[in-house]
Structure formats: C-alpha cells, structure tokens
Amino acid sequence: MQGQLSKAAKLYVEEPHQLAAWNHLESNVPDEILDEFFELYTAATECMINHATGDMKEIFSDVK
C-alpha cells in the first residue's frame, strides 16, 4: 500500500474515525521517525506552522 498516506492526508477532514486512525498510526511510529517526518513535512521556504505555538500561520499577510 505504498503511497496511500498521501491520499489519506488529502481526504482528512477531522472525522472522529480519521483522527483515531492517525492517532493509532502515530502511536506506533518511533519518535525519531516522527521527528524526521515533521522536519521534512515543514521544510518549505516559508513553513505554515508557527513552531513556537504549533498554530497555523496566516496564509496571506495583511496588505494595506
């Protein structure tokens, strides 16, 4: 089932069964792998996650 995680991520809409499945997967993956995944996942030039708070950053800055 290689490549299925990216498809699952596209379908994620925070349904309870989806959250349970992601939590189950995460609880069975070693911490060092999760850390590496998060680093790769957020490695874009302008990451959308505020690492200090864990919140999503605003997509657009205020333009006046």
What confidence tens digit (pLDDT) does each residue in 8-50 have?
888 999 999 999 999 999 999 999 999 998 888 877 755 666 7
pTM value surpassing 0.85: no
Q: Which two tokens stand for residue 36?
A: 């590496």
Residues 6+ apart with CB under 8 A from 37: 29
